[in-house]
Amino acid sequence: MTDAMPENTQPGRATEAAAREEQRKEQSREQQKERQGEEQGEPEEEGEARERRRIAAWRAAGRALSRGYREVTLRERLAELTAAAGEVYDLDARADIYGDGVVAELERRVAGLLGFPAAAFFPTGTMAQQVALRCWAGRTGNPVVALHPLAHPEVHERDAVHVLAGLRTVHPTGEPRLPTAEEVRELDEPFGTLMLELPLRDAGFVLPGWDELTEVVEAARERDALVHFDGARLWETTSHFGRELSEIAGLADSVYVSFYKSLGGLSGAALVGPESFVEEARAWRHRYGGGLFQQFPAALAALAGLERELPRLPRYAAHAVVVAEALREGFETAAVPWYRLQPEVPRTHQFQVWLPYPPEVLTEAALRQSEQTGTTLFHRWSAGAPAGPPGVAFTEVTVASPALEWTAEEVKEATARFVEFVGRVRAER
């Protein structure tokens, strides 16, 4: 089942640059609409009503694999931060001013975890990555960055690395995976920095093997290039690689990490590297408007995430394998004509699920399951997938703390019920 193609579709092997470029742009547009709670062609009032319905259903559901930020009220978020803050920092200390105090403590903690001498806190990961890449371009004298066409700067940052930093990008591969050492060696023009997104989210949260990763880094060194890791989700890669964070991060010259994607923070990111590099990054942070007066809420939430969520991530990743296999068995039992899990065995606690139905059908089916059974198996579905064939919809599955209460059999049962709801929605259209 997982290898069969849906009817009337072709694999396409969309590796040509033009096809990949158009695909990633369309994917970015669709994701922007979904993050704003929009449906294509839907009046604003109807879109807002639909979003309220979704959030109400998700909040009321007694069971879910994960809880999204949209489901939490401001009061709940503040209460959570207040309860955790005193456990990770002295609340009798004065508040931070322009990056000292609790922000400096967070930087020290992250630098130590990742095995680097220095770290700089940034309000956003987009800013941190642009600064990192332009700093290395200035030091190498080469403005060319080699990265995947599905990497975050290419898909989700509105071409900022080109427009603001004046850099140019090249793609060692267009396949839905990280580049191989051979592809890096054979890239037909010089590049100053190789950027690797670990895991590569838009290809399905995929990761290479440890030996493959070290070989890719070595290939970049052979090309006299520096290596930067987009490690927004690096925190959850330790189980797959079988290495400590410091050993993984130590392969690169610089690393960016996020505090809200996996750790449950409010916002913010950190950029780690050599001391002189981080000092230069702080200067560019100021130029980009990132030197905020006070950032203690984000810093406290990040410290709480490091204390609370970081130790749990290996358990989430292990249970993601159980959930993925149960989903597979559920789809098989329900005789779904075609499906795919990407990757087939999750590398982290996140993965994609693809089905051969319109995204609006799948999203509505998932919503009805939440409303009528009190179980949220899936959230939103999107049209197409960068790593997959045309004619399918996909969703991202995150296995977090709430999912640990689910047995494999319960996931299978919920999957069967979801397929039933899909059938009912399709019959109405």
Cβ atoms of 231 and 132 closer than 8 Å: no
Cβ atoms of 341 and 353 closer than 8 Å: yes
Cβ atoms of 170 and 189 closer than 8 Å: yes
Q: How confident is the model at residue 391 (pLDDT cuts 50, 70, 90)?
A: confident
Q: Decide: pTM greater than 0.85.
A: yes
Cβ atoms of 348 and 233 closer than 8 Å: yes
Mean of the per-residue pLDDT values of the chain: 91
Name, in order, each residue with C-beta under 8 angstroms of 330's C-beta and a sequence gap of 6 or more: 411, 412, 413, 414, 415, 416, 418, 419
CA-to-CA distance for 120 and 90, rounded, in angstroms?
Answer: 21
In this predicted structure, the answer to whether residue 269 has a pLDDT above a threshold of 50 is: yes
pLDDT at 429: 84
CA angle 416, 419, 424 (to 5 degrees): 130
**Tell me: the pLDDT tens digits for 156-189?**
999 999 999 999 999 999 999 999 999 999 999 9
Give the pLDDT mean for 328-334. 97
Closest to 249 measured CA to CA, from 313, 316, 182, 198 = 198
Helices and strands of the chain, counted as H and E runs: 16, 13
Name, in order, each residue with C-beta under 8 angstroms of 220's C-beta and a sequence gap of 6 or more: 146, 184, 194, 226, 227
pLDDT at 386: 55
pLDDT at 333: 96
Which region, left, alpha or beta, applies to residue 117 given φ > 0 means left and ψ of -120 to 50 means alpha? alpha
pLDDT at 388: 57
pLDDT at 68: 86
Tell me which amino acid residue 137 is. Answer: A
Cβ atoms of 101 and 321 closer than 8 Å: no
pLDDT at 22: 52
Task: Give Rg (Cα) of the chain.
Answer: 22
CA-to-CA distance for 238 and 366, rounded, in angstroms?
Answer: 32
Least confident of 1-10, 117-126, 224-233: 1-10
pLDDT at 47: 85
The total number of residues shown for the chain amounts to: 429
CA atoms within 13 A on the CB side of 416: 11
In this predicted structure, the answer to whether residue 25 has a pLDDT above a threshold of 90 is: no
| Three-state secondary structure call for residue 48 | helix
**Tell me: the pLDDT tens digits for 199-227?**
999 999 999 999 999 999 999 999 999 99
Give the pLDDT mean for 403-410. 97
In terms of C-beta density within 10 A (0-12 exposed, 13-18 middle, 19 or more buried), how is residue 408 classed?
middle
pLDDT at 148: 98
**Tell me: the pLDDT tens digits for 72-108?**
999 999 999 999 999 999 999 999 999 999 999 999 9
| Three-state secondary structure call for residue 334 | coil
Give the pLDDT mean for 301-305. 98
Give the pLDDT mean for 239-261. 98
Q: How far is CA 410 from CA 68, 398, 414, in A?
A: 21, 16, 6
